[in-house]
Amino acid sequence: MTVQPLARPRLGVAYYPEHWAESRWAYDAKLLREAGITIARMMEFAWDKLEPHEGQYQFEWMDKALQIFGDAGIQVVLCTPTATPPPWLFQKYPDILNVNPDTGVKNSTGSRRTVSANAPAYLEMSDKIVTAIAEHWGQHPNVIGWQIDNEFGCHSTIRDLSDHSRRAFQGWLKAKYQTLEDLNAAWGTQFWSTTYTDWSQIPVPAPTASYHNPGLLLDFRRFSSDAWVAFQKRQIDILRPRIGAERFITHNMMLKFVDMNYYDLARDLDFVGFDNYLHGMSGPMEAAFNLDLMRGMKGGRPFWIMEQQPGPVNWTLFNPPVPPGQVRAWTHQTLAHGAEAVLYFRERAVNIGQEQYHAGVLKHDGTPDRCWHESKAVSEDLAKMPALKRPQAPVGLVFDYEDLWVLELDPHNMEFSYYQLVLDIYNQLWNAHIPVDILPRSADLTGYQTVIVPAPALIREADVARWKAYVESGGNLITTFRSFFKNLGSTWTDQPMPAGGLGELFGVEVDEFFSIPPISSVGWRSSDAPYPDWDDDRGSHVIDIEAKLPGFGFGESFGVPPKVRYAVWAEVLKPTTATPIMRYADGYYKDGPAATANKVGKGMAYYLGCWCEHPIPKSVWKAAGLAALALPERDLPRGVVMEVIKMVDEAGNPVEIRINHSKRTVTLPESVKS
């Protein structure tokens, strides 16, 4: 994780000059500037205004907007408008429409994100409009950067089943596997008589009578993600020589979105952009996780919030109100997790179109809404604060999109969620106020005290070598059930699990695994459900083993340890060189090892065989140094949800940001007031 230089945070807004009379623009800019806003993002849905007819460009209106906002002291981020092609383009090229991946039905025009990333006509017309706007505004003095398109994959549109995508998928597979023999071997196509003898035979995963081959499904996820990464790269290659190195290029990624590999998408960007909408999240913890994930996209580089929820939205089931002070708290939370700028969406509640109920900085009548006042308050807060940055955290938590995909495509238990497993682990750390960096599997682990790798399902032997070196040098490595059992083509390993050398690192093999249905005895994850009597003995609890572990640093007996509930998934382990540290307390695998510890060089490797209510058991929590990192309870006010974020100032001095996520005002304990 690379620690980045300090920068003063800035506030901004998404502004749509095409929605308002030109006579209003200067007044809007004045109002926004009074709220502490110094950045405006424009143009992402304006293709029809920029090019009302093919090849006929109208840029004068945007020239005026740039001048007006520049005069008001507001700099501009321009967006490429390719998320919403105009009606004339669909009329001329109807084959650019995408096909819904769940229904197999072609989408209609009249909305957004209705195009295929593999349609040649769409790619050509996108290239033309991006070239035109880049040549016109690429060196504009008030344009500080560019956003590519808008929210790739919104409305479940990463995967597309059109003929364009089918042909592109076949070409992608040919480039990857070279021969059909290698593809058939990687996927195991002899199952259900699906051995392919010509590339043109390979389908896209449209609805069918039963299940598609898991290797085809996984590769289609990879291909679909790659298609949008390539689409973005086309635009970057057009923009960069025309805008120069001094202007940035970003894209606005989405909260809790896993249909594409964001690590790949981030690779070609100067920094990550992110849209932070909190309704639908489980609370401030899940918001914090997604912010930390964005900070981890480019090795700790600060990111921008391109769209920050300013109040009620229009797209959830009930669209509840946002309490006074909440937007201010959300803004400070994003900044404390590594955001360098926060842009509210939108500048004004709109009177037209599909988002009329969405709040803005200004009301429908153009007067200041609550967000205007809270933006002003945040601006005043920031003026009093030193420049701060996030140092490298002591704990790394790995999040991998391909592991998520392979387990999502074939979960074996409808309640198994890779995302939820990672979130449960993060929640345990967050509640202890332990700083965390979210990492890709390929990350350099230097400097981390403890690294947690949840359910690394796909076998990648290069990762094992890197992880082993980390443990040998003194690191604490924790992994979980469902590790290293799938080859990259989503076939099951024929070696003992975990395969690929991971079992040797952790000193353990998986003897048996169990999918745990949601019954009352293990029902903390779900509602009760009736099952036959013979199934009642599956067990529900694990318990720490009452033994000292010589050389492992526990150095104590745990007395009479409490039983801990588990659910969803369990593995009975067979230690090879590891020592059992937890056993099953009941069920027909009672006394079987449930977690192990293995000393490797100067460090420790811990394998957790079941999904406990608190995923990291007490013994591992202490031995891996996590207990020592936790914030003492005496330093926390009681009865509130408070987030404690550790930062440093320009001199490297530690600074704590404390955010009260509860309704009532609290007084900090005397121990932390200084």
CB 180 within 8 A of CB 200: no
CB 44 within 8 A of CB 80: yes
Using DSSP, state whether 625 is helix, strand or coil: coil
Helices vs strands, H then E, count in the chain = 18, 22
Per the annotation, the verdict on 151 as an active-site residue is yes
CB 450 within 8 A of CB 627: no
Report d(CA 548, CA 40) in Å as an integer.
61
Helices 214-243 and 180-187, packing angle to 10 deg: 120
CB 608 within 8 A of CB 596: no
Using DSSP, state whether 530 is helix, strand or coil: coil
Catalytic residue (choose from 44, 51, 151, 509): 151
Give the number of other CB atoms < 10 A from CB of residue 461. 11
Using DSSP, state whether 217 is helix, strand or coil: helix
Q: How far is CA 89 from the centre of its chain?
A: 33
Catalytic residue (choose from 44, 307, 347, 571): 307
Q: How far is CA 491 from the centre of its chain?
A: 26
Per the annotation, the verdict on 181 as an active-site residue is no
Give me 581's structure tokens.
């540290």
Q: What is the radius of gyration, based on Cα positions, of the chain?
A: 27
CB 614 within 8 A of CB 582: no
Q: Three-state secondary structure along 408-434?
A: HHCCCCCCCCHHHHHHHHHHHHHHCCC
Alpha helices in 180-213 (DSSP H): 180-187
CB 489 within 8 A of CB 578: no
Using DSSP, state whether 85 is helix, strand or coil: coil
Determine if the peptide bond prior to 234 is cis (ω within 30°): no
Report d(CA 445, CA 614) in Å as an integer.
24
Report d(CA 358, CA 603) in Å as an integer.
52
Residue 83: closest CA among 250, 260, 276, 232: 232
DSSP codes joined into one string, 67-84: HHHHHTT-EEEEE--TTS
Sign of the torsion formed by the C-alpha atoms of 356, 357, 361 and 367: positive
Determine if the peptide bond prior to 52 is cis (ω within 30°): no
CB 592 within 8 A of CB 572: yes
Indicate the burial class of 506 (C-beta count within 10 angstroms; 0-12, 13-18, 19 or more).
buried
Known catalytic residues? 151, 307
